[in-house]
Structure 1
């Protein structure tokens, strides 16, 4: 197991307890470095700054699964991983609260211009003034992307006395008194604070640029704790310098340093009432520990028992833990008749089946079969030799 990008030590504990040898690196790796490091690696753990491309996957024949110790998975070529039978797991809910608390803190800090006041105090300047400082109560928060983070932010913002409006391309149920906006433009024209919480799909690249900032209310606030590639930071700079945007907070950037201590460049550096944080939305001890425990468990469950529940790219089979007997995992092309042919082969081999679990997703199907006796090498060879087989693996209880 290779873990990159300062993944929480609890992941190491979980994996070592299951028998894995774990190598831990603090920073991310470029494509060539990653290829070199993956020789002999069964499981790879990354966060958001390491890209697993098709080229990387082609050069890593021993790789069984990739764990994204974060929410997003856009840094992995999911289609290429699925085609090679490499499972990908993430932690879609574990750092939700941490991100939301950061955004709430930033809304208050920007509205009160706390960053600016603090800098002056550190410079020895006593500036006791209410100019430009506002309460958030009664203000309108516009949430773009109303998923797990957006809805929890909605709830906490209402508790602070804010009015909440939201826009999402998917059909989402409004929480509390939140109101759905029909268009993004409608939201931008009404919100005093705009907070982005969209995912990293390619279609969201450049979602927020000069046109969107111009649509925002004069002297409104802008927050991005979603994906760096969503925002045109040059356009944001222009609207902050002009005074149209009163303040901004960004936790993610189009280009981010690879390792701790590396230089950070951005056109937003040095601007008044702009909070820049180094992608720490989910970086609380509580969130990172939960993510480490959760994703490490999913990786170990797949490698040691063939379990794919919550995989983002392979058919998700929620098979029980293997307590006794033997297990056969069969990933195959999703065409009619495969399960029938598998069962016919198992019956011919005299397998006493105790449980069978099947799921399909797009072009693939995955069937997990538990039996009292191990399947013979000849029967396994027949399964592996089928034209629709992507891979076949076996496990034994206690092994």
Structure 2
């Protein structure tokens, strides 16, 4: 990140808080840009602790464990933006964040390779029944046999959710000589020789290995339930490195015990411990040919560094220039800076007449608008204005008085 302009608010007064051991790359980026007040904490915080910590915070960085509730957002009076240093944003109450005019960013692409590589590795381990042989060896039993062990070549991989990760898994699987079929709720262009199927049941009934890559929403919760599991090909393998609410684990355990499903790798669970060392239970514990991992699908050094760079750059671009590309709350805008102007950011409720009132108030006071861009979503509108330097303070005060205003910031 390079420093473009001096913000109106002194950089040493901007409070930045990073939780959950976010990559040092993010901390370094802000400190290199002149932001001195950057704190990094190792774990997530409870709602009560977070409410206390965020009162004077301008930028907040979290991962998947920290829950941003309406109560947290109500307490964070100075909060401008939240950076989710992970793929998802379901840990943030986006409706409340939108109502408060808080920008929410994430890193949807930065750890896709890490997850894709691990899915392929797990597929090989499970189809060769390595977990069983590993357990036996640790227990002092020699189990040298080929029964139930297969090659990946020639087998069919079924991908549920053909997005950023699913499509990368598809490419890697084809390189191993696999056939790839997939199902996605949205029409997607296949990569390589992958073939789309019209229904979920078509995929699970044909595939030797099924890998899930879907978000957590109403349509995907409990997607893989007992009714769907009964259509799985006998001897197939299930991999879930997507979201914990997608699979009915009790039903999966029953199908594993019956032998219909030959193995599984699960990384995400409906309930997960708050911190390392906490007790963890799941119906899948103790079952043969099952690999359980603690939500580490994207946890590689490379992925964490990439995520740190990606999200911190988005936060920085917003803080310095008002850029909201990639935001899940405030509409996406990217107005190039203009020399000889001061920039003001205005977030307001999306009702008719706000832009007209903004322009009327500025016009009445002979304030020249040298650049202006408005974008709205269903809830709010976001205006970036470049105004005459001599009257920017007056313009800032006028914009604060506009009806339906949520937030105004004199950027530089």
Q: Following the alignment from structure 2 to structure 1, what is the Cα–Cα distance between the partners of residues 391 and 92? A: 34
2:19 pairs with 1:4: yes
Task: State whether residues 99 and 379 of structure 2, in contact with CA within 8 Å, keep that contact through their aligned partners in structure 1.
Answer: no
1:353-372 per-position Cα deviation (integer Å, ceiling 9, x unaligned): 44323222223221111234
2:265 pairs with 1:258: no
Task: Give how far 1:112 is off.
Answer: 0.8
2:81 pairs with 1:65: yes
Task: State whether residues 344 and 396 of structure 2, in contact with CA within 8 Å, keep that contact through their aligned partners in structure 1.
Answer: no
Q: Following the alignment from structure 2 to structure 1, what is the Cα–Cα distance between the partners of residues 339 and 141? A: 67
| TM-score (normalizing by structure 1) | 0.94
Moved more, 280-289 or 325-334: 325-334
Task: State whether residues 66 and 89 of structure 1, in contact with CA within 8 Å, keep that contact through their aligned partners in structure 2.
Answer: yes
| TM-score (normalizing by structure 2) | 0.91
Q: Following the alignment from structure 1 to structure 2, what is the Cα–Cα distance between the partners of residues 110 and 317? A: 46
Aligned to 1:292: 308
Aligned to 1:127: 143
CA distance 1:321–1:91, shift in 2 (3 Å): farther
Give the secondary structure class of the aligned counterpart of 1:203.
coil
Q: Following the alignment from structure 1 to structure 2, what is the Cα–Cα distance between the partners of residues 147 and 351? A: 47
Task: State whether residues 362 and 398 of structure 2, in contact with CA within 8 Å, keep that contact through their aligned partners in structure 1.
Answer: no
CA distance 1:188–1:329, shift in 2 (3 Å): same
Give the secondary structure class of the aligned counterpart of 2:219.
helix
Task: Give how far 1:311 is off.
Answer: 0.6
CA distance 1:256–1:375, shift in 2 (3 Å): farther
Residue in structure 1 matching 2:382, options 348, 366, 372: 366
Paired positions, count: 396
CA distance 1:323–1:98, shift in 2 (3 Å): farther
Aligned to 2:171: 155
2:113 pairs with 1:97: yes
CA distance 1:324–1:148, shift in 2 (3 Å): farther
Moved more, 40-49 or 365-374: 365-374
Task: Give how far 1:55 is off.
Answer: 1.8
Aligned to 2:126: 110
Task: Give how far 1:351 is off.
Answer: 3.5
Task: State whether residues 29 and 258 of structure 1, in contact with CA within 8 Å, keep that contact through their aligned partners in structure 2.
Answer: no
Task: State whether residues 268 and 294 of structure 2, in contact with CA within 8 Å, keep that contact through their aligned partners in structure 1.
Answer: yes
Aligned to 1:394: 410
CA distance 1:395–1:287, shift in 2 (3 Å): same
Over aligned residues, Cα RMSD in angstroms?
1.8
Moved more, 234-243 or 384-393: 384-393
1:170-222 per-position Cα deviation (integer Å, ceiling 9, x unaligned): 12112222111111111111111111100122332211111111110111000
CA distance 1:374–1:111, shift in 2 (3 Å): farther
Task: State whether residues 96 and 149 of structure 1, in contact with CA within 8 Å, keep that contact through their aligned partners in structure 2.
Answer: yes
2:351 pairs with 1:335: yes
1:51-87 per-position Cα deviation (integer Å, ceiling 9, x unaligned): 1111221122122111110110111111110011011
CA distance 1:204–1:322, shift in 2 (3 Å): farther
CA distance 1:374–1:132, shift in 2 (3 Å): farther
| Structure 1, unaligned runs of 5 or more | none
1:7-64 per-position Cα deviation (integer Å, ceiling 9, x unaligned): 1111111122231412222222222222122221111111111111112211221221
Aligned to 1:237: 253
| Structure 2, unaligned runs of 5 or more | 1-15
Q: Following the alignment from structure 2 to structure 1, what is the Cα–Cα distance between the partners of residues 392 and 316? A: 25
Query: Superposition pairs for residues 189-208 of structure 1, below 5 Å?
Result: 189-208=205-224
